[in-house]
Amino acid sequence: MYHFFVQQDQIGETTVRIAGTDVNHIKNVLRMGPREEVLLSNGVDKDYLCEILSISSDEVIAKIIEIREGGTELPVEIYLFQGLPKSDKMELIIQKAVELGVFKIIPVETKRAVVKLDKKKEESKIKRWTAVSESAAKQSKRLLIPEVTGVKTLREAFEFAKEFDILLLPFEHAEGMVHTREIVSRINPGMKVGIFIGPEGGFEDGEVELGESYGAHTITLGKRILRTETAGLFVLSVLGFQLESV
């Protein structure tokens, strides 16, 4: 079943109005028609199972069949603070992180990051990354589209997350898995969790110390060294497995 996002003001008591670029996609790409079903999300807390009633050049009208609440989101808000990686790795990270339930993604400048974005490049990248997040949210039937924010410095990122319940900082010189399991076991529904991932070269010792000064827990992800595009997804998978509701 195809999945689209709508604004709250497009949702009526018995029908939903689809507008914008999704109309062309439904009409000319998917070639859908009346009586076919679609899943619509308000981007906050509800899914609407709908049946298409009519399609015109600028709107699709669908009848609400069933309203579903809170079915696909994790019971925690997970923020991924991702050190800027090279090439198109960020797109892969965003796509898979959204599939795994991330709440928000914050690109972060670090000392070992090769990529440096000026304002014009950053705006272009954020636009592209937002589109990747929306596409992944549709594919994975998310209730919301995780935001990809503007780039922050590492200090700004830690300052942003200082009131979170738990901050996790994977680091190759951290204590063993017993310590990691103990920290992860503290995470419960309703919490805000920050995951800080370094770029290809990892975090410098001074950056790790900065994180610890903000209360971040350094953890190991096992005996193997994971790539930057793997590490955050590993943590998200672990948290999803632990916290996913039945």
pLDDT one-digit tens code per residue, 57-66: 999 999 999 9
61 has which bridge partners?
17, 54
pLDDT at 246: 55
The mean per-residue pLDDT over the stretch 157-167 comes to 97
CATH class assigned to 77-243? alpha beta
Confidence of residue 70 (pLDDT cuts 50, 70, 90): low
The pLDDT, as a whole number, for residue 69 is 81
Tens of pLDDT, residue by residue over 101-133, are: 999 999 999 988 888 887 788 899 999 999 999
| Half-sphere exposure at residue 172, Cβ-oriented, CA atoms within 13 angstroms | 12
Look at residues 202, 187, 119 and name the one whose alpha carbon lies nearest to residue 154: 202
Phi, psi values for residue 233, rounded to 5°: -70, -35
Nearest to 196 by CA among 108, 65, 102: 108
Q: What is the pLDDT of residue 116?
A: 80
Span 32-44, average pLDDT: 90
Domain 2-69: what homologous superfamily?
Answer: Hypothetical PUA domain-like; domain 1 (2.40.240.20)
Numbered ranges of CATH 2.40.240.20 in the chain: 2-69
- For the chain, the first-to-last Cα distance in angstroms comes to 22
Give span(s): CATH 3.40.1280.10, the chain.
77-243
Closest of 213, 186, 184, 208 to residue 197, by C-alpha:
208
